Chain A
């Protein structure tokens, strides 16, 4: 097991390096003038040049790339171009907020989605199954900002049950934070419900059709016994994979929801950093999102191995 985890970590580092390189290439593929972007179109050329020299953004590409790689290794991204404050200082707030929202959404989604998927599989092709499948399909294919907008109109504007803006003032109590964050978390939850429920349904059906389930049924076990002891464990594996991928995306992929509810999370930070060509801030946020993704998928694979000894065997070799 340990060698496997080590190998996965090494691979994760390679992926991280590729990730940083991709971001660097995307940000630099067209000639751009960071100084001009920051200072605006009316600043005198000398000031812009001076700023570029100060930031090192007039250095050759390779030198800039070298600095990025050094930052990746030392994990020291220095100061933001834009605000001159340390990158980690700027990031810590949004990171914490994103984590809170992601966790909230996950807790809301996973139990319901898993239960719905199993239920649908058992009622396969009946009305309740078709309903769950269609609801999952619809909810997961609508962009988050659309769901968010509709939820905001209905529950925020029409009924007034929840605040339309999620940015709560400092010092808000946890319970009332939950109220502020309810609509954004629900918007995310609606999207990921579909993914998880559909995967759970598919893997439950696969397990229900497997020979070992037939063996269990023929033993005379009741349906709930069969589900609990034989189906659930086998069906959870693929679902856990899906959930783990979503965890990574929940951290950075919900810019739409953050924007609709005016919530300053990691996504908004990336948006701002990208628009401002604030490369240190951008790189650091992307690397963080990548790390979250890789850790959650690694954790998922370990859990799957624990659930299924055959997967364990594959990991060992």
Chain B
């Protein structure tokens, strides 16, 4: 079919001067191109803003970010204060009730986004960085390097992420190591997150998954002629990988990052629930549920339901944003 049928960003920003025309004409054509480029970007942004999914996602995420930053000023009660009646039903003073040692559930849920909102993005970023490096090498060299690394990646993928994370955290313990050097290395690597081991474990687990995505993108790029052209002028492999190919796969990497943040929240919450992630007395949502789910049978549902809804809302919000960005990019 004609180009017009697949009107992509490429074909709607076209300038041509098949023959050098008068200078004035060139200027107008070029200015037109710049205007159209800006317009396309604006249209894309408007498209994003018009997507209800994006708006809802951004709104919910923003709410939780504000809670994480300002919780000590906006929560109705001190989330760590255990002076009220334990297990008070929702209503009255405590809208969401109190937990088993008398802390206000609403305040704890509001403060509970703090740890996960630090751990999940940092681990996602680390995994995307390492996964990209790995994927670049695998996709670019192919052959033996790729075969060996692919087998290792495959072995990782054969087990559920949560299971491997569990094993690692049981072994390492989720708190900071005692060894000073190790502790500081972790602190720096994880930008001072409170649970550095959890961050690293999640990052390591996600690395092979990111690597697989990046590898596929690199494989598609490295067969393109610009790579051949770079070799013909004598560029090194390192240059080709990092300067020629990498800028071209930023799109899928950004999408992967947003998706990974969502899964990191998923994973961190699950690990906390299993008792190997974020440690008490943090008001982490997974932890609150872990402490109270066994009381459900006795009709004590509120300390389980509210944090569960909180997790669900945040994960959905992040995924809505990721989905919207992807959809708009694909247009």
15 pairs from A and B in contact (CB 8 Å cutoff):
A18-B152, A19-B158, A22-B164, A26-B171, A27-B167, A27-B171, A133-B323, A141-B315, A146-B311, A149-B289, A153-B301, A157-B296, A255-B162, A275-B170, A289-B159
Q: A30-B171, A153-B296 are in contact. Are A259 and B274 (CB under 8 A)?
A: yes
For the residues of A in contact with B, the DSSP-based class is helix
Minimum Cβ distance to chain B for residue A250 (Å): 9
A260, CB-defined interface residue at 8 Å: yes
A62, CB-defined interface residue at 8 Å: no
A137 and B316 form a contact (CB under 8 A): yes
A274 and B158 form a contact (CB under 8 A): no
Partner of B270, one of A143, A157, A289: A143
Q: A14-B151, A29-B171, A138-B316 are in contact. Are A149 and B159 (CB under 8 A)?
A: no
Q: A150-B305, A164-B296 are in contact. Are A23 and B269 (CB under 8 A)?
A: no
Q: A26-B167, A256-B162 are in contact. Are A143 and B311 (CB under 8 A)?
A: yes
B312 and A137 form a contact (CB under 8 A): no
Minimum Cβ distance to chain A for residue B171 (Å): 6
Q: Which residues of B contact A265 (CB under 8 A)?
A: none
Minimum Cβ distance to chain A for residue B166 (Å): 6
B160, B318, B319: residue with the most chain A Cβ atoms closer than 10 Å: B160
CA distance A132 to B311 in the complex (A): 21
B312 and A142 form a contact (CB under 8 A): yes
A237, CB-defined interface residue at 8 Å: no
Q: Which residues of A contact B309 (CB under 8 A)?
A: 150
A137 and B158 form a contact (CB under 8 A): no
Q: Which residues of B contact A29 (CB under 8 A)?
A: 171-172
Q: Which residues of A contact B315 (CB under 8 A)?
A: 141-143
Minimum Cβ distance to chain B for residue A294 (Å): 6
CA distance A138 to B160 in the complex (A): 20
Minimum Cβ distance to chain A for residue B179 (Å): 10
Q: Which residues of A contact B162 (CB under 8 A)?
A: 253, 255-256
Contact with A along B240-263 (1 / 0, CB 8 A): 000000000000000000000011
Q: A27-B171, A149-B305 are in contact. Are A253 and B53 (CB under 8 A)?
A: no
A270 and B274 form a contact (CB under 8 A): no
> Which of the four size classes fits the interface of chain A?
35 or more
A19, A149, A274, A282: residue with the most chain B Cβ atoms closer than 10 Å: A149
A256 and B270 form a contact (CB under 8 A): yes
B316 and A141 form a contact (CB under 8 A): yes
Chain B residues 300-331 with CB under 8 Å of chain A are 301, 304-305, 308-309, 311-312, 315-316, 318-320, 323
CA distance A153 to B299 in the complex (A): 8
Chain A residues engaging chain B, CB cutoff 8 angstroms: 11, 14-15, 18-19, 22-23, 26-27, 29-30, 32, 133-134, 137-138, 141-147, 149-150, 152-153, 156-158, 164-165, 248-249, 252-253, 255-256, 259-260, 262, 267, 270-271, 274-275, 282, 286, 289-290, 293-294
Q: Which residues of B contact A289 (CB under 8 A)?
A: 158-160, 163
Q: A26-B168, A29-B171 are in contact. Are A252 and B163 (CB under 8 A)?
A: yes
CA distance A282 to B159 in the complex (A): 13
Q: Which residue of B lies closest to A251 (CB)?
A: B160
B72, CB-defined interface residue at 8 Å: no
Q: Which residue of B lies closest to A198 (CB)?
A: B323
Q: Which residues of B contact A156 (CB under 8 A)?
A: 296-297
A153 and B158 form a contact (CB under 8 A): no
Q: Which residues of A contact B286 (CB under 8 A)?
A: 143, 145
Partner of B160, one of A141, A158, A253: A253
Minimum Cβ distance to chain A for residue B205 (Å): 11
Q: Which residues of A contact B167 (CB under 8 A)?
A: 23, 26-27, 270, 274, 282
Q: Which residues of B contact A150 (CB under 8 A)?
A: 305, 308-309, 312
B296 and A32 form a contact (CB under 8 A): no
A138 and B163 form a contact (CB under 8 A): no
Q: Which residues of B contact A253 (CB under 8 A)?
A: 160-163
CA distance A14 to B155 in the complex (A): 9
B156, B163, B273, B308: residue with the most chain A Cβ atoms closer than 10 Å: B163
